[in-house]
Amino acid sequence: MKKRYRVRKEKRIIRWIPWFLICVIALLVLVGIIPEALKRASVQPTITTTKPTTTTITQTTMFTTTLMTTITTTTIENVTTTIQVRQAISVGAYSCDRKTDIITLTIANRGNTVIKEDEIKIYIGDEYVGTFGKEIIPGRLVTNSFKGTAGTNIVKVVSPSNSVRIIITCY
C-alpha cells in the first residue's frame, strides 16, 4: 500500500515540474537576468584606434617615425532646383465654315508658362499644317484659323506638354 501511495505522489510531482520550469524562466526574464546574458553573448563590434608613434634618436638606435595620414574628401554637388514647366492646352471651341472649309480653333493655355507662337503644331489628318502662330498667356483664350477640307477633318493640336485630337466635320 505504501508503494502505491508513493507512485501517485511521484506522478503528481512530475506533473508540476514543467510548470515550475516555465515559472522560473518567466521570473528570470522579468528580472532581467536572461536578457543581460543574451546581450553579453551577442557579438559586439570591436573598435580599434591607431595612434601615431614617434621614436627619438638615441645612440644605439636609428631614427624611426611612423606617420598616420588622414585624407578628407569633400564632394561638392551642384544643387539645382527644378521648376516644372507646364504648357498644357485645351481646345475651348472649334468651328468650320461650310463655304470656305476654314477651321477656326480657340485654344486655352492651361499651363503655368507662356506658350510661344511656334510651340503649338497643328495637324489635319496626318498632314502637318503649321504652327498655331499666336502666343498664348496662361489662362487666356486665343483664336486662329486654318484651311481644312470638305467632309471629316481629324485635327490634332500638339503643345510641348500635351496634345488634343478633335474630329471636325465641314459640310
Greater confidence (33 vs 118) lies with 118
Report pLDDT digits (tens) over 30-71.
Answer: 777 666 666 665 555 555 555 555 555 555 555 455 555 555
Give dist(CA 149, CA 5) in Å, integer.
114
Pairing verdict, β 121-124 and 102-109: unpaired
Q: Which amino acid is at 47?
A: I
Across the chain, mean pLDDT equals 77
CATH 2.60.40: does it fit domain 89-170? Answer: yes
pTM: 0.51
Give dist(CA 3, CA 71) in Å, integer.
84
